[in-house]
């Protein structure tokens, strides 16, 4: 695993920066146009959540090696309020703000692997991967 | 060379090297087959690749548009130089740096072309201003009786969405617009937040009796939106502006005919 980008998320401009970084990296390592765009939207959703709910946190972009192929791993970490009910949060159209509530379930659909750990008052850690 | 001359030569070449390293501009020498022969520290910084890994690799590797980079050095070998040649350097971390190259061939002691010396100037600030300008203006054009066109360029945040909303509603009212075409070709990222704003704008416009068409949704964007779960419902969307205009005409029961 090689971390190619670690970005602190504390304002809206950071969300745009890190999603375009993800798009550029994905294209460079051989993802298709659609797959690259999917990854960048996933990053945008995770970074927006950090900004919206935890105020700040980090996004790490890692190039990973699998058995047969390489991939891109996106790790989103914050020390924010955490998610009380993960099952609800993963449902379409569930939102505690005025959002559409499709961010988290959407990221899961866009990527190949998705793991979420969250503890109220401690924070949230989301790891998601897409393989070439 | 005697020892004195050798020492002087060593001194002056050390001096030249330190000048090259001191330059904040990425400098590089390229061989006839497009391989990197030497780089300075600024090049290492902007690419995120260590010097020993840069040397011997294709110069064109480090740009978002490798073909344009190749065309650039081919042109230098052909014409002896290029000036103000714009490219975008891609760092391994995904950062892009827009640069403007000045490059020329240089010669060995026998007067033969030895390679290219290329100097890049970082033009991020310039590009930033250009982008800010194009984002600052959100032009709404009446393209036909009853048809409005609003091309969106750049990032859409809540503030921008508010401006788009106002621009759209004002021109719909003032120009008796029946169909509004919102072109999003120039919007780099359409995530759930941006889509949410678009839907809001479209709903408000509909309340004023105006239909909206979103154009400029590429196949990659369309597929991603579906996978993300974005349901823009009964909003009409299409890839090209041409299509959008066709749809607008047919909505207004207008027909374009050959004379
Ligand atoms: N990093 C986080 N910290 C705390 N709560 C979070 C975090 N990310 C998501 N949540 C919670 O999970 C819910 C669902 O998130 P999701 O991204 O799916 O929807 P949303 O952000 O509400 O709306 P949308 O993403 O569609 O604009 C959020 O409303 C919020 O309560
Ligand atoms: Mg969200």
Q: Residue B21: exposed, middle, or buried by beta-carbon count in 10 A (0-12, 13-18, 19+)? A: exposed
Six token digits for residue A126: 């989301």
Of A84, A21, A102, the residue nearest B192 (C-alpha): A102
Can you list the positions of beta strands (E) in chain A? 2-9, 57-65, 70-78, 113-119, 123-131
- Average pLDDT, integer, range A115-131: 97
The confidence score (pLDDT) of residue B233 equals: 66
pLDDT in tens, B1-40: 567 778 877 777 787 778 888 888 999 999 999 999 999 9
Contact state of B224 with A99 under an 8 Å Cβ cutoff: no
Q: Which residue of B has its CA nearest to A6?
A: B93
Residue A10, chain B, CB below 8 Å: the answer is: no
Residue B10, chain A, CB below 8 Å: the answer is: no
The set of protein residues with a Cβ atom below 6 angstroms from ligand 1 is A 45, 49-50, 53-54, 78, 80-83, 89, 94-97, 99-104, 124; B 192-193
Q: Mutual orientation of helices A33-49 and A12-28 as an angle, nearest 10°?
A: 150
Helix (H) or strand (E) holding A25, with range, is helix A12-28
Which residue owns the Cα nearest ligand 1 atom 31?
A96
Contact state of B92 with A4 under an 8 Å Cβ cutoff: yes
Identity of the residue in A21, A48, A92 whose CB atom sits nearest the CB atom of B191: A48
Contact state of B228 with A102 under an 8 Å Cβ cutoff: yes
Of A77, A61, A79, A33, the residue nearest A129 (C-alpha): A61
Six token digits for residue A82: 């955490």
B96 contacts in chain A (CB < 8 Å): 20, 24
Q: Is the CA virtual torsion B126, B132, B135, B139 positive or negative?
A: negative
Mean pLDDT of chain A: 96
Residues 146-175 of chain B with CB under 8 A from chain A are 155, 157
Q: Are the C-beta atoms of B106 and B117 separated by less than 8 Å? A: yes
ipTM of the complex: 0.89
* Percent above pLDDT 70 for chain A: 100
The confidence score (pLDDT) of residue B2 equals: 67
The confidence score (pLDDT) of residue A73 equals: 98
Residues 74-133 of chain B with CB under 8 A from chain A are 90, 92-96
pLDDT in tens, A17-47: 999 999 999 999 999 999 999 999 999 999 9
Q: Which listed ligand is nearest to A86 at the C-alpha?
A: 1
pLDDT in tens, B63-72: 999 999 999 9
Alpha helices in chain B (DSSP H): 3-22, 41-47, 51-54, 66-79, 124-136, 158-174, 192-207, 219-228, 241-251
The confidence score (pLDDT) of residue B16 equals: 76
| Closest atom, ligand 1, to C-alpha of A57 | 1
pLDDT over threshold 60, residue A75: yes
**Structural domains of chain A ordered from first start:** 2-131 (3.30.565.10)
- Average pLDDT, integer, range A3-25: 95
Q: Are the C-beta atoms of B213 and B244 separated by less than 8 Å? A: yes
* pLDDT < 70 positions in chain B: 1-2, 232-234
pLDDT over threshold 60, residue A116: yes
Q: Name the more confident of A72 and B139.
A: A72
Residue with tokens 């401006």: B163
pLDDT in tens, A79-94: 999 999 999 999 999 9
**Structural domains of chain B ordered from first start:** 3-122 (3.30.450.20), 129-251 (3.30.750.24)
> Cα–Cα distance between B240 and B247 in angstroms, integer?
11
């Amino acid at each position: 695993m090689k971390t190619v980008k670690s970005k602190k998320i504390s304002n809206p401009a950071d969300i745009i920066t890190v999603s375009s970084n993800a798009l550029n990296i994905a294209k460079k390592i051989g993802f298709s146009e659609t797959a690259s765009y999917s990854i960048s939207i996933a990053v945008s959703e995770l970074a927006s959540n950090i900004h919206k709910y935890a105020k700040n946190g980090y996004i790490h972009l890692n190039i990973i090696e699998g058995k047969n192929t390489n991939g891109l791993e996106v790790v989103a970490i914050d020390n924010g309020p955490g998610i009380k009910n993960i099952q609800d949060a993963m449902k379409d159209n569930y939102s505690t703000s005025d959002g559409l509530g499709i961010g988290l379930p959407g990221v899961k659909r866009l990527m190949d692997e998705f793991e979420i750990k969250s503890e109220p008052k401690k924070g949230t850690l989301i790891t998601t991967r897409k393989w070439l | 060379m005697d020892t004195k001359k050798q020492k002087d030569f060593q001194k002056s070449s050390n001096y030249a090297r330190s000048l090259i390293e001191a330059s904040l501009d990425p400098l590089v020498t390229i061989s006839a087959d497009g391989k990197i022969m030497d780089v300075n520290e600024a090049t290492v910084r902007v690419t995120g690749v260590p010097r020993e890994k840069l040397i011997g690799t294709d110069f064109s590797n480090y740009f978002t548009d490798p073909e344009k980079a190749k065309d650039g050095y081919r042109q230098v070998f052909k014409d002896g130089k290029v000036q103000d040649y714009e490219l975008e350097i891609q760092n391994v971390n995904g950062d892009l740096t827009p640069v403007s190259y000045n490059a020329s061939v240089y010669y060995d002691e026998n007067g033969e072309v030895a390679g290219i010396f290329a100097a890049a100037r970082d033009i991020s600030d310039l590009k930033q201003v250009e982008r800010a300008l194009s984002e600052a203006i959100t032009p709404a054009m009446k393209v036909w009786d009853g048809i409005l066109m609003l091309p969106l360029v750049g990032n859409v945040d809540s503030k921008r969405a508010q401006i788009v909303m106002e621009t759209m509603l004002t021109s719909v009212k003032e120009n008796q617009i029946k169909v509004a075409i919102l072109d999003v070709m120039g919007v780099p990222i359409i995530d759930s937040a941006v889509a949410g704003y678009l839907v809001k704008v479209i709903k408000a416009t509909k309340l004023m009796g105006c239909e909206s068409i979103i154009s400029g949704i590429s196949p990659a964007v369309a597929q991603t939106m579906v996978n993300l779960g974005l349901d823009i419902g009964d909003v009409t969307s299409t890839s090209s502006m041409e299509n959008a205009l066709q749809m607008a005409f047919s909505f207004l029961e207008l027909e374009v005919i050959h004379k």
